Structure 1
Amino acid sequence: MPATQLDLRGLAAVQPPSRRHVASVVDGAEAVHVLGPVPALSAVLTRLWKTERLPAVPVSWEPADDPASTGLARSLGVGAGAERELPLVRDDHGGVLLHTGLVTAHGASRRLLARRFGARAYCDDTRVADGSITRIDVRPDWTAVDRIGVTVVTLPLRPVRRAVGRALQMASDPAQVSRDGVPFDRQVTKWTWYADDRVRWRLRP
């Protein structure tokens, strides 16, 4: 079946696409070919999930040339192999995570990631944070099924805490979350990322 093309190559690597535009292209499509950075692919998968069309609609992706896109494309094996079903990492605010999730102190900039905030977090049954930390990084593990990797930085240049599991649950002081480089639109005090074992999406090479 021919794929409907969604060309978002003009999208910045940290800019979410228009939900209305994505819906206008994706809704009704039998297959989708996405061109652009990670947020473009994420937006398509989010729309397909919300309209209950995963995994019925296969998706192919032509990544942008920013580091996140090239890294994710390499992890997914884009352009190689056969069509396959892949797991989906979601959050409790209706989003999808493909490459990197980041939690930092509210208002912290990239130059001020040493700013600390209070948090308690669990990766499955393992407590990975309980006190002041600098940040939490979460990545889908594309070498496994329904698994994420979690890294907690307590202080810069100090040893980090690592864990793998199906889910991360966090309660914290007001914090800033970003999904694949795109900041969430408000501060949060609770957040969950989890590999949803009920959902799969189809990647075409």
Structure 2
Amino acid sequence: MDVVRFDLRGLAPGQGPSRRHVASVVDAVDATVVVQGPVQALAAVLARLWKSDRLPVVTVGWEPVDGDAACRGLARDLGLGTGSVRELPLVRDDHGGVLLHHGRIEAAGGGGLRRRFGAQAHHDSTKVCDGPVTRIEVRPRWDVVDQVSVTVVTVPLRPARRTTGRALQVASDPVRVLRDGVPVDRDVQRWTWYADDRVRWRLQP
């Protein structure tokens, strides 16, 4: 089987690849796609494959960036370099993106992680916040199937609320959303992250 490489190692922190950079991934036929680059590069390739209905049939390998903490964490969680080809779940959002390692919802307009915003959020059937919060953080669970962990921080340095479930739905004041360190291109007032139990992707470890 052929190997098609996408070299995205030049991405800066907080920068995602453009559509042009990943557009040709849909042309990979009978090949393993290998993504070279940070977490957001792998997420962008998976999102493109999903949107083109190619995700179930393309095997994806990943060569993370050295010295990057997010890469180290995700590689460890995925068991990169061990085992054989396996199918893994996919965490998606209602704006067409993919989340692999860490998502965050914070107040719009800057000002750091101490600024608060009004939000109501449900994690599955559990209301996890209803009022001012500092941030909401989401991480895919790789040790169980189709789950995300959610942390709601109401006030810095106070205990956070932590839950586990399949889907997080948020309605809020205008907020900034970051997917694997990359800001979404506009502020939003509604957001959903969910483990899509209808979708799997194939990792070549």
TM-score by length of 2: 0.97
Give the aligned partner of residue 181 of structure 2: 181
Q: How many residues align?
A: 202
Q: Is the 8 A contact 1:13 1:39 kept in 2?
A: no
Give the drift of 1:13.
3.0
Give the aligned partner of residue 98 of structure 1: 100
Q: Is the 8 A contact 2:173 2:189 kept in 1?
A: yes
Which amino acid is 2:113 matched to?
L
Give the aligned partner of residue 76 of structure 1: 78
Q: Is the 8 A contact 1:59 1:204 kept in 2?
A: yes
Greater displacement, 148-157 / 29-38: 29-38
Q: Is the 8 A contact 1:119 1:130 kept in 2?
A: yes
Q: Is the 8 A contact 1:119 1:131 kept in 2?
A: yes
Gaps of 5+ in 1: none
How far, CA to CA, are the matches of 2:13 and 2:141 in structure 1?
21
Give the aligned partner of residue 130 of structure 2: 130
Give the aligned partner of residue 201 of structure 2: 201
Give the aligned partner of residue 170 of structure 1: 170
Gaps of 5+ in 2: none
Which amino acid is 1:38 matched to?
V
Q: Share of identical aligned residues, percent?
A: 66
How far, CA to CA, are the matches of 1:13 and 1:53 in structure 2?
28
Give the drift of 1:5.
0.4
- Give the 3-state SS of the residue equivalent to 1:107 in structure 2: coil
1:17-73 superposed Cα distances (whole Å, 9 cap, x missing partner): 12112112x121132001000011001100000000111000000001211111101
Q: In the TM superposition, what are the counterparts of 1:60-71 in structure 2 within 5 Å? A: 60-65=61-66, 66-71=68-73
1:106-139 superposed Cα distances (whole Å, 9 cap, x missing partner): 0125xx2000000000100111110000000000
Q: In the TM superposition, what are the counterparts of 1:1-205 in structure 2 within 5 Å? A: 1-24=1-24, 26-29=25-28, 30-65=31-66, 66-109=68-111, 112-205=112-205
Greater displacement, 177-186 / 2-11: 2-11
Dislocated runs of 4+, deviation >4 Å? none
